[in-house]
Chains A and B, each alone.
Chain A
Amino acid sequence: MKAAYPGEAMVHTTDIQSDQDARSNSLWRSPVSIAYDQMMKILVVEDDSQTSAYIARGLREKGHVVDLAENGRDGLFLATEAHHDVLVIDRMLPGMDGLSIVKALRAAEIATPVLFLTTLGNIDDRVEGLEAGADDYLVKPFAFSELNARINALTRRPLQNATGTALKVGDLELDFLKRVVQRGGKKIDLQPQEFRLLEFLMRHVDQVVTRTMLLENVWDFHFDPQTNIVETNISRLRSKVDKGFDRELIHTIRGAGYALRSSD
Chain B
Amino acid sequence: MASTVDTTAVPARTRPKYGSMKRDRAWALRWSYFFLILFAIFFLLPPIYMLITSLKTSAEISAATNPWWVYEPTLANYKELLTQNIYLTFFRNSAIVSVIVVAITMLISVPAAFALSRMRFWGSATLATGVFLTYLIPETLLFIPLFKMFATFRDWTGIELINNWWVLLIIYPTLTVPFCTWIMIGYFASIPKELDEAAIIDGASWLQTLLLVFIPVALPGLIAATIFAFTVSWAQFLYPLAFTTSVDQLVLPVGIITTLIKGDVFNWGQIMTGALLGAAPPLIIYAFLMDYYIAGLTAGATKG
Partners in one complex: no
**A interface residues (Cβ-Cβ under 8 A, vs B):** none
